[in-house]
Amino acid sequence: MAGEFELIGRHFNWPAPQGYLGVGDDCALLPVATGHRLAVTTDLLVEGCHFFPDVDPETLGHKALAVNVSDLGAMGARPIGCVLGLSLPRADDAWLAAFARGFRALADAVNCPLVGGDTTRSPSGVIISVTAMGEVPVGSALKRSAARPGDDLWVTGVLGGAHVALELLQGRHPQYDDRLDALQPCLERPIPPVAFGAALAGHAHAAIDISDGLLQDLGHILKASACGADIDFGLLPVHPALEGLPPELVQSAVLNGGDVYQLCFTAAPDMRETITDLAGQYGVSASRVGRIRAGTGIHVGNSLLPLGADSYAGFDHFG
């Protein structure tokens, strides 16, 4: 089998950037800038747990990297490279080519070169491990614990798209299936605002990606920072294709919908102009949606509907 799986590796044997040593030795070598910390995040994705056997391989390749580089951006780190472990039941050339294409397109888009990996046979389903590495100036990382009362609360991009796309794909609201074309890319090809996240280092305080839903992920920041927050629902950036959907669906998608890979971050009010300028520079929309305060909990004002226990479903382990 070794030969077959060496062939698999060739789908990922992309040339290493200058100053790097890529695939082919005991380790890859990467440059880390002086005065920076190395930021590292890892995810293990397992067929039957994180994705189904019939998932589109190009989408899978994209998302396997997206979940990791999103964490780099949320730390304020500029990507320097990633490694990929891939275990497959068989060497299916078309599947591999599509997976590699999806992975590489995002790697190129966010400047996170693949520098090494490990490819083996799996006795059951597909297994993917990705470890992404970045660099962040010492003392500038956007830690969850760094929010302060008085900070503005910001969100990038638009919210709710991935959640509604998933519901439509599950056949939940067939009368709105005409929205699927506009929403499906939010679910399947999210582009995390990684370079913008890195640019926020030193300007913003705390950040997190909205992979588990806005309320739950903001809850992680508040818990780590020992603060509370007020959100103005009317300021939240709602995906335009959600217009006209039932208010309960929109509200739930925006507040609790996960898989967003946008950033929720906090910054001092005197940073508003800097942040708006950076957002323009990096082609990211950044919306100021509330503020951090002393105390605990999240108060959502101007919501579409009264907030029941339901709206805080993603918020359990904060309380």
| CB of 33 or CB of 294, closer to its own copies | 33
Restricted to residues 134-153, the positions that interact with its own copies (CB under 8 A) are 134, 136, 141-145
157-183 burial code (b ≥16 CB/10 A, e <16): bbbbbbbbbbbbeeeeeeebeebeeeb
CB of 245 to its own copies, least distance (A): 28
- Residue partners of 269: CB distance under 8 A and separation at least 6: 150, 151, 152
The CA distance from 196 to 127, in Å, is 30
Restricted to residues 154-213, the positions that interact with its own copies (CB under 8 A) are 207-209
Restricted to residues 9-28, the positions that interact with its own copies (CB under 8 A) are 21, 24-28
Spatial CA neighbour of 231 closest among 253, 198, 255:
255
CB of 273 to its own copies, least distance (A): 26
**What is the size of the binding site for its own copies (CB under 8 A)?**
63
Which amino acid does the sequence have at 30?
L
Which amino acid does the sequence have at 221?
I
Helix (H) or strand (E) holding 48: none
Exactly one of 11, 36, 205, 293 binds its own copies (CB under 8 A); that residue is 36
First-to-final CA distance of the chain = 51
Residue 258 in the binding site for its own copies (CB under 8 A):
no
Phi-psi category of 288—alpha, beta or left, where left has phi over 0 and alpha has psi -120 to 50?
Answer: beta
Residue 286 in the binding site for its own copies (CB under 8 A):
no
| CB of 17 or CB of 185, closer to its own copies | 17
| CB of 45 or CB of 182, closer to its own copies | 45
Residue pair 295/247 in contact by the 8 Å Cβ criterion = no
- Residue partners of 265: CB distance under 8 A and separation at least 6: 142, 153, 154, 156, 200, 204, 205, 206, 207, 208
Torsion sign over Cα 208, 211, 217, 220: negative
Which DSSP symbol is given to 14? P
Residue 270 in the binding site for its own copies (CB under 8 A):
no
Residue 259 in the binding site for its own copies (CB under 8 A):
no
Residue 274 in the binding site for its own copies (CB under 8 A):
no
CB of 4 to its own copies, least distance (A): 13
CB of 71 to its own copies, least distance (A): 4
Residue 235 in the binding site for its own copies (CB under 8 A):
no
CB of 117 to its own copies, least distance (A): 6
Restricted to residues 98-137, the positions that interact with its own copies (CB under 8 A) are 115-118, 120-125, 127, 129, 131, 133-134, 136
User: Exposed/middle/buried for 266, CB within 10 Å: 0-12, 13-18, 19+?
Assistant: buried
Residue 37 in the binding site for its own copies (CB under 8 A):
yes
Restricted to residues 300-319, the positions that interact with its own copies (CB under 8 A) are none
Residue numbers at the binding site for its own copies (CB under 8 A) = 21, 24-32, 34-44, 46-50, 71-72, 74-75, 77, 80-81, 83-87, 115-118, 120-125, 127, 129, 131, 133-134, 136, 141-145, 207-209, 224
